[in-house]
Each structure stands twice: as C-alpha cells, then as structure tokens.
Amino acid sequence: MRIAHLLLTHSFAGSERHAIELANAQAQRHEVAVVLHQRGAEDRPDAIAHRLDPAVQRIVVGGWRWFAERAARQQLLAWRPEIVHAHLGGGCRVAAAMPAPIQRLATLHIAYKRSQHERLDGVIAIAPWQLDAIPAGQRRVQIDNWVRPAAPAADARERLRREHGIAPDAFLIGALGRAEASKGLDELIEAFELAQLGDEVRLAIVGGGRDWQRLRTKAAGHIVMPGFVARPQDWFACFDAFVSAARSEPFGLVFLEAMSAGLPVLATASQGASHLQAQGLIERPLPPVRDVPALAQALRTLASERPGRRPYALERFSAEARMAEVEAFYAEVMAH
C-alpha cells in the first residue's frame, strides 16, 4: 500500500507524536511518505522531520498556508498514494482536494469540523465523544490513542532535581505539554499559588509553545519551567504526580505516558480525562474545568496524601493493536 501522511504543523507535540509513530510503523510494511512543512523540517529540537524512520519518505513544502497547501497537493499528485491520511487542519484541507481514486482519511486529534472533514472518505475518532459530531452517512471508526513507553535515563530523577534546585525529598507535581490556552496552564499556576502548599511541594511545567514566555512571566520563580525537552520520559521519572489543568483535551496521550510511568494523575474534567476515568484509569475526582479554587483544593488533597506510583492496566492502548485497527479501517474505506 502507498500511504501518505499529511502533517503541516511546525513543532512536535502529542498529535505529531501520534502521526510520526504511525508512519514509522507502517513504513516497515508499506511504502510511506510524510508531507511536512519546511518549518517542521528545520534543525531544532522541537521540529518533526528528524523523528522519522529512514524508511519513511519525506516530502517537504514551504511558504505561507495557501502556497504550502497547493505545493502539498501537487507533490501528492506526483507521488500517487492510494491512501492520504491527514492530521490537523492544514492536512485535512489538502486531503479533501485529492481526486479519486485516492482515498482520503483524517484522524480527529481535536474535534470534527465540517469545513475540514466533511468531504473526506473516512474519519478516525480517538475518543467516543467525537463520534456524535460525525454525520451518520460518513464512514467512521473510533480507535483509542496508544502509548509506546520510553525508558528514562537511570539518573534522570536525581540529575534533573539537582539541575533545577528541587530537593530530593520534595513532592514534585508536574505538567507536561504544549504551552497554549487549551492546556489551562495559566490556571494551574494560579491554583498552585492559591493552594499555598509550602516549600516541600514544587510544581514543574514542562514544554514549549507560543504561550511559554507569557506563562514564565506569570509564574513565580519557584515554579520550574524548563521549556521544550527532547526526553519527556526523564521528567516523568522526576515527577511524583502528574497534573492536567486542560480546558479542552480530546484524549490526552500525555495521560497514557504519565500512567506508563506509574504516576498518580490529577486532571480537570476535560473530554479525555473523563473518558479515561470511565475506563477506570483515573481514580481521583476530576475538578471542573476553569475552576481555579476547585483545582487548588484538589492540589492540596494530592499534596497531603502524597500517593505513590502504581501500575496501570494499559493493555488496551497497545500501539501494535491500535495501528492494526487503523490499517483495517483503510481496507474498509478502500473496499467501498
């Protein structure tokens, strides 16, 4: 099968990880290309291209949105894939313009948007709540996100705490993700300050993004903010608990990564956290989104209890099984 993934974003985060892991795995059995914007192919730690397996072909386009999307269409017509699999808005617009017999699909990393998804031949939802917005006549499937745990460095916990002035016995609550409005990191900072947890409890917010500087200005000096990191698994080893204050989180791959590290999870009642709580994986109560006092109280409870690490039943989020479901959906769409 000739499969092209469309990923026209500029920086690496959870949605990009999903797309890259899928392309890398498929390239071991199929002919696979990934269409990237030139910003995503730059030589910087949070870029995308250097994470691709050598077996994956790279198609790089440049320019502002309209020019990049037109170039992507032209490159794909020349490459002649059987399947075009789009990720996020720009990719969906390009996929929708592809002619038959190319089969056009997208993964809903955020939410269904008619302007982006209505003309596609198939849609993959990563969580059940997304299905309600997909028209009944459009071919669709729900396939959970997956997790591929990466081992931390043996000295990660001690080294990172030493580098960032975190005491060995401090209880470190950590958030990890892109610094943008949907992640609610501004409200997490407010809630942490409101909770007044003392010097023995610290907060680390790990990740870059367009709002990082604004958050760094807002956060007190004792809040650790290292920016984008190439090895998030090292920070999961450093944390004692994971927190998400998201206003909106469609699924939350980062939840699975935190659980793979055995961390207790505190999350606001986003779509993804509610889904995982219904699966019995998040056991703590979910404070309402946008409720800073409720989140502060949940942080107080977490800090007073200091729960330890524990194993999670993550078998249903096996990467190999979920990727096999994606390819089965390809076959279903092509058959019709």
Residue 151 lies in a domain: no
pLDDT digit string, tens, across residues 244-257: 999 999 999 999 99
Residues of the chain with pLDDT > 90: what percent? 99
What's the mean pLDDT when you consider all of the chain?
96
Residue 219 lies in a domain: yes
pLDDT digit string, tens, across residues 258-286: 999 999 999 999 999 999 999 999 999 99
| Range(s) of the domain holding residue 99 | 2-146+318-335
Q: What is the pLDDT of residue 48?
A: 97
Residues 162 and 284 reside in one and the same domain: yes
Identify the CATH number of the domain in which residue 40 sits. 3.40.50.2000
Residues 284 and 328 reside in one and the same domain: no
Residue 141 has pLDDT above 90, yes or no: yes
Residues 279 and 324 reside in one and the same domain: no
Residues 92 and 224 reside in one and the same domain: no
Q: What is the pLDDT of residue 336?
A: 82
Residues 177 and 116 reside in one and the same domain: no
What domain count does the chain have?
A: 2
Question: pLDDT-based confidence at 128, cuts 50/70/90?
Answer: very high
> What pTM was estimated for this model as a whole?
0.92
Residues 240 and 97 reside in one and the same domain: no
Residues 117 and 199 reside in one and the same domain: no
Determine the average pLDDT of the residues in 110-123. 96
Residue 56 lies in a domain: yes
Residue 33 lies in a domain: yes
What is the C-alpha to C-alpha distance for residues 178 and 198, in angstroms, rounded to an integer?
A: 27
List strands edge to edge, sheet with 103-108: 57-61, 31-37, 2-7, 83-87, 103-108, 122-125, 140-142
Determine the average pLDDT of the residues in 118-138. 95
pLDDT digit string, tens, across residues 29-78: 999 999 999 999 999 999 999 999 999 999 999 999 999 999 999 999 99
Residues 304 and 326 reside in one and the same domain: no
Tell me 206's DSSP state. E
Burial environment of residue 69 by CB neighbours within 10 A (0 to 12, 13 to 18, 19 or more): buried
pLDDT digit string, tens, across residues 280-320: 999 999 999 999 999 999 999 999 999 999 999 999 999 99
Residues 127 and 197 reside in one and the same domain: no
Sequence length of the chain is: 336
